[in-house]
Amino acid sequence: MIAIKRGTGDIDAMKKAFRAIKEGHIVGIFPEGTRNGMKKGVKFHSGAALIALKTKTPIIPVGIQGDFKPFHKVKVNYGKPMEFSEYAGCTKDREVLDKITNQVMNEVIRLTNEKN
């Protein structure tokens, strides 16, 4: 677990995420900044897009269905890995980061609403 100070541009947390990925670990991120942000209509943040570009790793979108209460069941839908190698070197391009973030957000929403 990597703690992040929300809304501060926590560079230390980003560095820890980069290091974890380079060491072969998987980093899970709630890009809306909280577990139930989608229900609140929170806009996704671009940190996941930035991390994916800087580490040259794919993003695996995940949709979670449930109420996030202890001991309650949740359903997890995993999407196909999304890779963004065509944007290599664009880590400072806000338009590119927003485009990737929107693509991931749309897939997470689709997976969250998916009925199996």
The residue length of the chain stands at 116
Question: Which of 55, 72, 65 has the alpha carbon at shortest distance from 14?
Answer: 55
pLDDT tens for 27-48 read 998 887 765 556 556 678 888 9
The most confident of 39-53, 55-69, 94-108, by mean pLDDT: 94-108
56 DSSP assignment? T
pLDDT value at 59 more than 70? yes
Tell me the average pLDDT across 50-78.
91
**Token duo for residue 40:** 């609140």
Would the pTM count as exceeding 0.85? no
**What rounded mean pLDDT belongs to the chain?**
87
pLDDT of residue 98: 95
pLDDT of residue 22: 94
Distance CA 13, CA 95 (A): 23
Tell me the average pLDDT across 75-98.
94
- CA–chain centroid gap for 61, Å, is 7
Task: Give the side-chain half-sphere CA count within 13 A for 67.
Answer: 4
CA dihedral sign, ordered 25, 11, 106, 73: positive
- Domain positions in the chain are 11-113
